[in-house]
Amino acid sequence: MFDAIEGLVCWKCGASLAALSLPLRRQDECATCGAELHACRLCEFYDTAVAKSCREPVAEEVKDKTRANFCDYFRPRAHAFTAVADTATRARSELELLFGGGSGQGTGSSSPGDEARARLEELFGQPKPSGTRD
């Protein structure tokens, strides 16, 4: 367990942590962003889909998942970084698919979502976009 874990990266910025030796000390920080590394967000038991965001059943609850803690069950996991931009982009594209996003400009037709938005804007007194007909 004192070897480096392949793919070990900072949970906050994604920088490689290959230079660090394991086990991580409680005081270890990312050299790039300064994030504390002995934190839930870097642990293999971290899972937001379960109670207390931890799959280890006997671990004490840690309130701040981004700060260093004294959990004895901590095990760093490879590829812990999740890019926020990727998550936001994926969510936006899923919303556009669900609600028929896009402006409909240049296509000559509007989606049901665009028509509903136009009716709402008309109902609440928002000006219609230029080029729309009554």
Q: Looking at the domain assignment, is residue 5 inside a domain?
A: no
Q: Looking at the domain assignment, is residue 96 inside a domain?
A: yes
pLDDT tops 50 at residue 106:
no
Q: Looking at the domain assignment, is residue 64 inside a domain?
A: no
38 or 128: which leads in pLDDT: 38
Q: Looking at the domain assignment, is residue 7 inside a domain?
A: no
Q: Tell me, yes or no, if the pTM score tops 0.85.
A: no
Mean pLDDT for all residues in the chain:
80
The C-alpha atoms of residue 102 and residue 96 are separated, in whole angstroms, by 7
User: Rounded to the nearest 5 degrees, what angle is found at the Cα of 99, between the Cα atoms of 81 and 107?
Assistant: 110
Give whole-number Cα distances, 33 to 26, 49, 107, 114, in Å: 16, 27, 45, 42
Q: HSE of 63 in the Cβ direction (CA atoms, 13 Å)?
A: 0
Give whole-number Cα distances, 130 to 51, 68, 107, 110, in Å: 50, 54, 16, 14
Q: Using 50, 70 and 90 to split pLDDT, how confident is the model at 5? A: low
- Find the domain containing 115 and state its range: 84-123
Give the residue carrying structure tokens 């890019």.
Answer: 83
Q: Looking at the domain assignment, is residue 88 inside a domain?
A: yes
Phi-psi region of 102 (alpha: psi -120 to 50; beta: other; left: phi over 0): left
- pLDDT tens, 11-59? 988 888 888 878 888 899 998 899 999 999 999 999 989 989 999 999 9
- pLDDT recorded at residue 128: 57
pLDDT tops 50 at residue 1:
no
The domain tally of the chain equals: 1
Q: Which has the closest alpha carbon to 9: 28, 39, 37, 34?
A: 37
Q: Looking at the domain assignment, is residue 6 inside a domain?
A: no
Q: Looking at the domain assignment, is residue 71 inside a domain?
A: no
Phi-psi region of 11 (alpha: psi -120 to 50; beta: other; left: phi over 0): alpha
- pLDDT recorded at residue 2: 43
Q: Looking at the domain assignment, is residue 106 inside a domain?
A: yes
Q: By the 8 A CB rule, do 26 and 68 touch?
A: yes
57-66, 87-96, 121-130: range with lowest mean pLDDT: 121-130
Q: HSE of 27 in the Cβ direction (CA atoms, 13 Å)?
A: 0
